[in-house]
Amino acid sequence: MVAATARIEDLRIGPLSKTYRLSASSVLALKDVSLDIAGGSFVSIIGSSGCGKSTLLRIIAGLEPSDGGPVRLGGRTIERPGLDRGFVFQEHRLLPWLTVAANIAFGLKGLPKDEIRDRIEAHLKLVGLEGFANAYPAQLSGGMAQRVAIARALVNKPEVLLLDEPFGALDALTRIQMQQEILRIWDVEQTTMILVTHDIDEAIFLGDEVIVMSARPGTIKKRLSVNLPRPRDRTSADFLAFRREIYREFFTEAEAPFAYVI
Ligand SMILES: Nc1ncnc2c1ncn2[C@@H]1O[C@H](COP(=O)(O)OP(=O)(O)OP(=O)(O)O)[C@@H](O)[C@H]1O
């Protein structure tokens, strides 16, 4: 088993805004976004296309600067990428010429050989891919490749795992399986998880909280605590009540009548 982080620190985001400057214009992608996330919690972020979800995740990752507002992880201010944060993208982004083991180890430079071997082994086990160390990405299914991407993001034992639509390219059944897997991994690793998704059921199934964003400019519209026991039953009346509440943030009953017939 991979050792859990001793103490997971809270994230304090903003208030921050983000403007993308183009040659002849600018886009206000985020406006006055403030978000505190408890260490070790699972937070889902949902919102329409272009509301700034990926921008927010990239700022937390240190891949993108904000217009000046702070992001703090515990006592540290985040200004650039760091090993305390892992990132999983929608596409797996594995290097096709490297084996699964080498892909997982890619960011592990400077550690003793034994430590590298142990971490690869532990993380292959963590994502259920023992026996695939020497396989190449082209030999894996979409779900398996995304498991490798998750292992690669976790191998440096980050405090925060940032997941940007990680299951968006998977078929519906694999997606459900991966949702269960990510909960198991969360339980073992005790990492703070921040998931961007377009899928309302996925947001409710996974999140301790669901953050609903709205667009133009991107702001936080609503924050919902999902106080349902785990494992969650997607067909339960309580689950469906959460789904209805989130649908209401996007559509009126007249616009999406079927969403309300539950
Ligand atoms: N590199 C960039 N340069 C200029 N504008 C950008 C850039 N990245 C994002 N934007 C703009 O910022 C806004 C927010 O984009 P972002 O990708 O964060 O939204 P999103 O909610 O993740 O969208 P989607 O759900 O479609 O992935 C959009 O209007 C987008 O066009």
Domain 10-81+194-262 has CATH 3.40.50.300: yes
Q: How far is the centre of ligand 1, averaged over its atoms, from the C-alpha of 35 (Å)?
A: 19
Instruction: Give yes or no for residue 20 CB within 6 A of ligand 1.
Output: yes
Nearest CA to ligand 1 atom 26: 49
What is the rounded average pLDDT of the residues 64-80? Answer: 94
Instruction: Give yes or no for residue 54 CB within 6 A of ligand 1.
Output: yes
Confidence (pLDDT) at 1 = 46
Instruction: Give yes or no for residue 65 CB within 6 A of ligand 1.
Output: no
ipTM of this complex prediction, to 2 decimal places: 0.98
Query: Per-residue pLDDT tens for 230-245?
Result: 999 999 999 999 999 9
Confidence (pLDDT) at 110 = 82
Cα torsion 9, 14, 17, 18 to 10°: value is -20
DSSP states along 75-138: TEEP-S--TTEEEE-SS----TTS-HHHHHHTT-TTS-HHHHHHHHHHHHHHTT-TT-TT--GG
Query: Per-residue pLDDT tens for 17-27?
Result: 999 999 889 99
Q: Which helix (H) or strand (E) is 43 found in, with range?
A: strand 42-47
Gyration radius from the chain CA atoms: 19
Atom of ligand 1 nearest to the CA of 196: 22
Ordered by start, the domain boundaries in the chain are 10-81+194-262
Instruction: Give yes or no for residue 5 CB within 6 A of ligand 1.
Output: no
Least confident among 23-32, 111-120, 160-169, 248-257: 248-257
Q: How far is the centre of ligand 1, averaged over its atoms, from the C-alpha of 18 (Å)?
A: 10
Per-residue pLDDT band for 5 (boundaries 50, 70, 90) equals: very low
Handedness of CA 111, 144, 136, 90 (dihedral sign): negative
Pocket test for ligand 1, best of 25, 31, 53 (most atoms within 8 A of CB): 53
